[in-house]
Amino acid sequence: MNARKEIGRASQFLAAAAGLGLFFAAFNFAALFVPPRREGSSVADDDGRINWFTGDRELAAAAGKRPFHVAMTAMADPYSRWQCRIMYYWYKRAKAAGAGAEEMGGFTRVLHSGEADDLMGEIPTFVVNPLPPGADRGYVVLNRPWAFVQWLERAEIQEEYILMAEPDHIFVKPLPNLVREDRPVAYPFFYIRPAKQEKILRKYYPEEKGPVTNIDPIGNSPVIIKKSALTKIAPTWMNMSLEMKMDNKTDKAFGWVLEMYAYAVASALHGVHHILYKDFMIQPPWDLSVGETFIIHYTYGCDYSLKGELTYGKIGEWRFDKRSYLKGPLPRNLSLPPPGVPESVVTLVKMVNEATANIPGWDDDDDDNSELRSKFEELNELHTLKLIQETEKNYI
Ligand SMILES: *[C@@H]1O[C@H](CO)[C@@H](O)[C@H](O)[C@H]1NC(C)=O
Ligand SMILES: *[C@@H]1O[C@H](CO)[C@@H](O)[C@H](O)[C@H]1NC(C)=O
Ligand SMILES: *[C@@H]1O[C@H](CO)[C@@H](O)[C@H](O)[C@H]1NC(C)=O
């Protein structure tokens, strides 16, 4: 399958839909950055320096019990809330599995809306403030580093390690602490390419620090890192995000993934280098099976014909897309995909169904904040159009 062609179709579809006012804009537009399909264990990368970490998980787990705290940053809109509930359900299930879960510590939803919401009783939550009005320039994810800064400063965290997680992550099995020799562990994203962005990155990562390939091709999540290292990185990450956002050229070059670059640069500035671990998670529909991985990240829409053929960028006869449920929880008991759809997608839907069947009061989470919602949708629409342009420029 030709991914570029598929993106072309996706953008045309999105542009047309947006033009017609039909498009309910999405929150995480990483959806348009279509990763190459994985073949075996070789992942091409033109940055040269990548040392893929494979295997040795047993070794990591045997290195002793080093519990990590799961910190999931989130907003308070209905779309974030249903994802948080599913995420927390599977965290509990993984932790309860016993073997392999010894290092899974506590869990916190770091809620960056500045106000408690009605999930406080269901999910352990720490409320932090959003950035002051206007500071994020409409880019809501800039609240993430600020949320971590506040949480690390104010919360009492028992564990020495932190897993930075997101609401659209599902644990498919217990996760050990993958940190080795104090090196944090991150999932490498194929679209974060420091070598290709050298000119821009030099503004933030001066020559004397070394080659820009010292910057890891990652974002802040998923990452497992020592709390002491994150405490150093987080304020720089926050400043870096704001600085990059204020610079029109940088903003334009990095677009939706600016905050990921900000984390990558901030950690490199502190001399922190991550183990790049591609089996950390999978991203259906591009990754076909769960295999030895730990997390399913459902940011991409999964569209299939009834014959089980992927129809990416075109609404499928069968589909699962988190963005279909911006205004409230997705329904219980979603229909399973037709035969021929990859195991990763089938597993995802089964896991979503199991969570929604077992979470009490699943349908009760009514949307009670319509003002927030419309602001959210407005911002997202704006970002979508911008991202479409960027995607076309960079990938087609
Ligand atoms: C972040 O920026 C503020 C304001 O410019 C500055 O006072 C602070 O020292 C910076 N912190 C870091 C860690 O760079
Ligand atoms: C940056 O972009 C903003 C909004 O697009 C604009 O108002 C501002 O003048 C630009 N700044 C510079 C220095 O180009
Ligand atoms: C879920 O839906 C299927 C049909 O798609 C139906 O056969 C099944 O009974 C439903 N299960 C529950 C628990 O509602």
> What is the number of other CB atoms lying within 10 angstroms of the CB of residue 274?
22
Closest ligand to 235 CA? 1
**CB within 8 Å of 213: residues ≥ 6 apart:** 47, 48, 49, 194, 195
Atom of ligand 3 nearest to the CA of 357: 13
User: What is the C-alpha to C-alpha distance for residues 264 and 251, in angstroms, rounded to an integer?
Assistant: 15
Q: Confirm or reject: Cβ of 333 under 6 Å from ligand 3.
A: yes
**Residues 8-33 pLDDT 10s:** 434 443 343 333 333 333 333 333 34
Atom of ligand 3 nearest to the CA of 333: 1
Atom 7, ligand 1: residue with shortest CA distance: 239
Atom 2, ligand 3: residue with shortest CA distance: 333
> What is the number of other CB atoms lying within 10 angstroms of the CB of residue 202?
12
User: What does the block give as tokens for 364?
Assistant: 């009760």
Atom of ligand 1 nearest to the CA of 240: 14
Q: Confirm or reject: Cβ of 100 under 6 Å from ligand 1.
A: no
The confidence score (pLDDT) of residue 135 equals 78
Closest ligand to 358 CA? 3
Q: Confirm or reject: Cβ of 347 under 6 Å from ligand 1.
A: no
Atom 14, ligand 1: residue with shortest CA distance: 236
Q: State the distance from the centre of ligand 1 to the C-alpha of 70, rounded, in angstroms.
A: 27
Tell which one of 333, 358, 362 to mutate to probe ligand 3, the residue whose CB is within 8 A of the most ligand atoms: 333
Residues 179, 226: contact at Cβ < 8 Å? Answer: yes
The confidence score (pLDDT) of residue 193 equals 92
Q: Confirm or reject: Cβ of 231 under 6 Å from ligand 1.
A: no
**Residues 84-124 pLDDT 10s:** 999 999 999 999 988 889 999 999 999 999 999 999 999 99
Q: State the distance from the centre of ligand 2 to the C-alpha of 297, rounded, in angstroms.
A: 35
The confidence score (pLDDT) of residue 99 equals 83
Residues 88, 166: contact at Cβ < 8 Å? Answer: no
The confidence score (pLDDT) of residue 63 equals 52
Atom of ligand 1 nearest to the CA of 236: 13
DSSP state of 372: H
Q: Which stretches of the chain score pLDDT less than 70? A: 1-64, 365-396
Residue 253, judged by CB atoms within 10 A of its CB (0-12, 13-18, 19+), counts as buried
Q: State the distance from the centre of ligand 1 to the C-alpha of 156, rounded, in angstroms.
A: 24
Q: Confirm or reject: Cβ of 236 under 6 Å from ligand 1.
A: yes
Say which amino acid occupies 39. E
- When the candidates are 3.90.550.10, 3.20.20.370, 3.40.630.10, 3.30.1330.10, the CATH number that belongs to 57-281 is 3.90.550.10
Query: How many helices and strands (H and E) does the chain possess?
Result: 10, 12
User: What is the C-alpha to C-alpha distance for residues 159 and 91, in angstroms, rounded to an integer?
Assistant: 16
Closest ligand to 237 CA? 1
Q: State the distance from the centre of ligand 1 to the C-alpha of 239, rounded, in angstroms.
A: 6
User: What is the C-alpha to C-alpha distance for residues 160 and 65, in angstroms, rounded to an integer?
Assistant: 11
Q: Confirm or reject: Cβ of 239 under 6 Å from ligand 1.
A: yes
Q: Confirm or reject: Cβ of 235 under 6 Å from ligand 1.
A: yes
Q: State the distance from the centre of ligand 3 to the C-alpha of 333, rounded, in angstroms.
A: 6
**Residues 123-154 pLDDT 10s:** 999 999 998 887 777 777 889 999 999 999 99
What's this model's pTM, rounded to 2 decimal places? 0.81
Buried b (16+ CB within 10 A) or exposed e, 5-35: ebbbebbebbbeebeeeebbbbbbbbbbbbe
The confidence score (pLDDT) of residue 65 equals 84
The confidence score (pLDDT) of residue 300 equals 86
Closest ligand to 246 CA? 2
Say which amino acid occupies 310. L
Atom of ligand 3 nearest to the CA of 332: 14
Q: State the distance from the centre of ligand 2 to the C-alpha of 386, rounded, in angstroms.
A: 15
The confidence score (pLDDT) of residue 304 equals 96
Atom 5, ligand 3: residue with shortest CA distance: 335
Provide the residue ranges of all domains of the chain, joining segments of one domain with +.
Answer: 3-42+283-395, 57-281
Q: Confirm or reject: Cβ of 358 under 6 Å from ligand 3.
A: no
Tell which one of 146, 239, 245 to mutate to probe ligand 1, the residue whose CB is within 8 A of the most ligand atoms: 239
> What is the number of other CB atoms lying within 10 angstroms of the CB of residue 350?
13
Q: Confirm or reject: Cβ of 335 under 6 Å from ligand 3.
A: yes
